[in-house]
């Protein structure tokens, strides 16, 4: 997924001795990661729009036309996923602004720096997320 690779340019946050969880320094670190990720995704979306406008070729051969339509459909699905990720990033930035970032939406405990490094848009601690996934699998059966 896009968010798994785009923010890896940032070194992991090193917790200072005695530093409080979600200190201003930590919030700045995650704000920078989220903003960088959002800017990169927005750039990808803009490039896709320009590419699709520039490559609006109508092929006479049905196979070429089908291949082009397949490529466009795949690109649009990817951009839709990125659009949803941008929405999650905006929500995470909002949680930083409101002071709720880094705490589980379900139980209120700390999500943890390592989990947030791996998935900066996380809204649940690993325990609550695991339980949610188990429930989803049971309902899907």
- The domain locations on the chain are 21-140
pTM, rounded to two decimals = 0.82
CATH homologous superfamily, domain 21-140: DksA, coiled-coil domain (1.20.120.910)
Residue with tokens 């466009």: 72
Per-residue model confidence (pLDDT) at position 141: 67
The span from the CA of 117 to the CA of 93, in Å, is: 15
Q: Average pLDDT for residues 102-121, to the nearest whole number? A: 95
Which of 11-25, 89-103, 111-125 shows the lowest per-residue confidence on average (mean pLDDT)?
11-25
Tell me: pLDDT of 10 over 90: no
- Tell me the pLDDT band of 56, cut-offs 50, 70 and 90: low
Q: Average pLDDT for residues 88-117, to the nearest whole number? A: 96
Cα pseudo-dihedral 96, 98, 99, 104, rounded to 10:
-80
């Amino acid at each position: 997924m896009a968010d798994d690779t785009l923010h890896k340019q940032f070194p992991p946050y090193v917790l200072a001795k005695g530093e409080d969880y979600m200190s201003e320094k930590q919030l700045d670190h995650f704000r920078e990661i989220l903003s960088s990720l959002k800017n990169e995704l927005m750039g990808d979306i803009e490039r896709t729009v320009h590419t699709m406008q520039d490559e609006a070729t109508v092929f006479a051969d049905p196979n070429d036309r089908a291949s082009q339509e397949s490529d466009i459909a795949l690109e649009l699905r990817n951009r839709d996923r990125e659009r949803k990720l941008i929405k999650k990033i905006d929500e995470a930035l909002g949680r930083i602004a409101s002071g709720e970032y880094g705490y589980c939406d379900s139980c209120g405990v700390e999500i943890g720096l390592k989990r947030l490094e791996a998935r900066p848009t996380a809204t649940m601690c690993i325990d609550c997320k695991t339980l949610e996934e188990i429930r989803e699998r049971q309902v899907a059966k």
